[in-house]
Structure 1
């Protein structure tokens, strides 16, 4: 991506500010699933942001994206300029579903410091600045991001973990903690669970690896968690393919919760992610009343 952007920049009189999918590539952020964008349908031209119609000049090999928001930038590899993670997140909102907007926000705040591009505080600060701009002009993506802010979480490791977390919330099972730390009381070894309901010592682990060299480490990890009394629910891509699969996953998690509580736990008809973001749900999962 960097090479393509440097090449595209060399053809322009003024250095561009690359945005949206191009910015995600430059920032090395995991790409979301698009609804629509210039980067879809085979159009892989670098995208640059322009503030208005007057700044737009059609150029072969460059796709202009007009946007009225606060254009916040950063330099990558001392070579090209792109929108920051926070700015890119808002610019991507019009071409993403609410779920994928949440997933993208998570992807920008990875637990791995080498992949972490911002924080919830960073998003909040940028949206506060953008709020002032919205008093004068409409900014596409602002409202959606304000809603998605309620659902994003820092320190995740993969986009599929984010999708699993939101699915469990949709079915009324509450939001599990992400990357929950567990310390072995004897060895002091620290383990991080993908998702956890710590009150019940239930872990939800997404396994998308299946590498032979990982198998032995996973067996040892599972043994330690078993010894510490954790109930580990393994989730794979097959559990997330269809709505029926996701419902079955929610039922399985509810069954594990019910066993811990000693009573039946029901799942509800799933809410749309937009409904979760709007706050149209109970403040906590119904089963927590029985703790």
Structure 2
């Protein structure tokens, strides 16, 4: 039987369905790790001496959600001196001579997350550095590497080692301090982190990240005590205003999402649902910030002016100054009490 393949014009639904087969974040990260591990093993087998994989390659090996700006397909290795830099076709070799923590993974060695972050601080935009730091501290325990306190302590210890060795601090040290004051624990995705930074840039207060809310549920689908627990992406709990990012994964959970929102609104919460379209241009982002600000004003009775967008660098400097003033105040009180 002779069969001819004819290219037909696709219907609208078929066009929309193309490429919309979504993976869970965990499955995607494990797939990327497996693919990267194969490539690293093949490269290591060709190399005459052990390699240490770095930057985006290390992040993929460690199942860390890489922000788009930092996500490169090339393999990256690190050398601790100019003499040991490798010249391997298709491989980028970077130089890092400062203290380095390593992770060993199935015969492959790569740079640990906190050192990788410090390496990126030399060359990355402040926003990308915050997004990457957030990814180390996910709410999902399977993706979580450390707490914010652990992260800050580790970076501080590295900087102290450099000072004691009387070496010049690496480029990006100031940038890393700015990023740490903007980073938050318990995020679920890069998009959530981008949303939080966007709200801040338009002058809104810092929201809580993934706080839980226990709500009475009379449908019988309840946790212990007849209550259901929900985690809100971002929230201003004192005003009961929630801001939630709706990604592709929500398409298959539409009925549950509708029920969830109904329960939250019955409990007095005002919900702002955000999609990618709300984030794609300055006009849409400002409109979203105005929408959130208007809800905060209605609930609190206080004016929330939408300004900016304010550069993240200026926001971080302001937060660092507030932190320093708080520390100085605590020191003065401690001194006063002897």
TM over 0.5: yes
Deviations 1:169-209 (A, max 9, x none): 11121110000110124623211000000000000001012
Determine the structure 2 residue equivalent to 1:167.
Answer: 198
Q: Counterparts of 1:207 and 1:216 in 2: how far apart (Å)? A: 14
Matches within 5 A, 1:277-288: 277-279=316-318
Task: Give yes or no for the alignment of 1:45 onto 2:74.
Answer: yes
Aligned pair in 2 of structure 1 residues 216, 126: CA closer, same or farther (>3 Å)?
same
Aligned pair in 2 of structure 1 residues 212, 150: CA closer, same or farther (>3 Å)?
closer
Aligned pair in 2 of structure 1 residues 7, 210: CA closer, same or farther (>3 Å)?
closer
Report the Cα offset of residue 126 of structure 1. 1.9
Determine the structure 2 residue equivalent to 1:94.
Answer: 122
Q: Specify the structure having the higher radius of gyration (Cα).
A: 2
Report the Cα offset of residue 86 of structure 1. 0.6
Determine the structure 2 residue equivalent to 1:239.
Answer: 278
Q: Counterparts of 1:245 and 1:156 in 2: how far apart (Å)? A: 23
Report the Cα offset of residue 273 of structure 1. 0.5
Aligned pair in 2 of structure 1 residues 211, 231: CA closer, same or farther (>3 Å)?
closer
State the structure with bigger RCO (CA 8 A, min sep 6), 1 or 2: 1
Task: Give yes or no for the alignment of 1:265 onto 2:304.
Answer: yes
Determine the structure 2 residue equivalent to 1:275.
Answer: 314
Q: Counterparts of 2:67 and 2:269 in 1: how far apart (Å)? A: 32
1:143 to 166, 169, 174: 174
- Shifted more, 87-96 versus 245-254: the winner is 87-96
Q: Counterparts of 2:309 and 2:233 in 1: how far apart (Å)? A: 22
Determine the structure 2 residue equivalent to 1:7.
Answer: 42
Aligned pair in 2 of structure 1 residues 283, 209: CA closer, same or farther (>3 Å)?
farther
TM-score by length of 1: 0.89
TM-score by length of 2: 0.77
Partner-residue secondary structure (3-state), 2:69? coil
Determine the structure 2 residue equivalent to 1:193.
Answer: 232
Report the Cα offset of residue 130 of structure 1. 2.0
- Shifted more, 232-241 versus 89-98: the winner is 89-98
Q: Counterparts of 2:240 and 2:309 in 1: how far apart (Å)? A: 24
Determine the structure 2 residue equivalent to 1:222.
Answer: 261
Aligned pair in 2 of structure 1 residues 283, 138: CA closer, same or farther (>3 Å)?
closer
Q: Assess if the C-alpha contact under 8 Å between 2:78 and 2:85 holds in 1.
A: no
Aligned pair in 2 of structure 1 residues 226, 22: CA closer, same or farther (>3 Å)?
same
Report the Cα offset of residue 151 of structure 1. 0.6
5+ unaligned residues in a row in structure 2: which ranges? 1-35, 217-224, 324-338
Deviations 1:113-150 (A, max 9, x none): 11112221222122112212154123133321121100
Q: Assess if the C-alpha contact under 8 Å between 1:68 and 1:139 holds in 2.
A: no
5+ unaligned residues in a row in structure 1: which ranges? 285-291
Q: Assess if the C-alpha contact under 8 Å between 1:68 and 1:137 holds in 2.
A: no
Aligned pair in 2 of structure 1 residues 152, 183: CA closer, same or farther (>3 Å)?
same
2:94 to 21, 43, 65: 65
Q: Assess if the C-alpha contact under 8 Å between 1:179 and 1:195 holds in 2.
A: yes
Q: Counterparts of 2:159 and 2:229 in 1: how far apart (Å)? A: 41
Q: Assess if the C-alpha contact under 8 Å between 2:134 and 2:193 holds in 1.
A: yes
